[in-house]
């Protein structure tokens, strides 16, 4: 069995470069791409290439990955997603999130 440090080094030396190459190929063909590799519980690398027209499923999956298992971060991120892109969720509506996209603080 390898140590966490050895697994992380393997990720850094072998996996991350391979994921970057896959992401580059995906970008060339207009594909969104997301990968997560965990070498120790709570320690992982994430590779993401999100196209502008990515689906809600893809974007929410990426939000979940970025939340690192923290429910508060996840819920707040989903609320922000709903404000920015709109939603049809009864749960977000219960939080008072408008169903139509709302401009951000910078007017966009």
CB 104, CB 84: distance < 8 Å: yes
Cα distance between residue 6 and residue 100, in whole Å? 48
* Low-confidence residues in the chain, pLDDT < 50: none
Cα distance between residue 36 and residue 59, in whole Å? 14
Per-residue confidence (pLDDT) for residue 107, from 0 to 100 = 52
Tens digits of per-residue pLDDT, 32-46?
Answer: 999 999 999 989 999
pTM of the full structure: 0.78
Per-residue confidence (pLDDT) for residue 81, from 0 to 100 = 94
The dihedrals phi and psi of 35, each to the nearest 5 degrees, come to -145, 145
Per-residue confidence (pLDDT) for residue 36, from 0 to 100 = 95
Per-residue confidence (pLDDT) for residue 77, from 0 to 100 = 96
Q: Sketch the domain layout of the chain as residue ranges.
A: 1-57, 67-108
CB 58, CB 34: distance < 8 Å: yes
């Amino acid at each position: 069995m390898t140590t966490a440090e050895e697994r992380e080094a393997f990720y850094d030396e072998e996996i991350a470069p391979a994921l970057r190459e896959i992401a580059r190929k995906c970008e060339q063909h207009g594909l969104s791409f997301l990968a997560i590799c965990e070498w120790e519980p709570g320690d992982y690398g994430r590779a993401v290439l999100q196209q502008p027209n990515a689906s809600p499923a893809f974007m929410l999956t990426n939000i979940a990955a970025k939340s690192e298992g923290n429910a508060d971060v996840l819920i707040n991120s989903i609320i922000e997603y709903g404000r920015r892109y709109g939603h049809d969720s009864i749960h977000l509506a219960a939080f008072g999130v408008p169903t139509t996209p709302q401009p951000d603080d910078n007017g966009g």
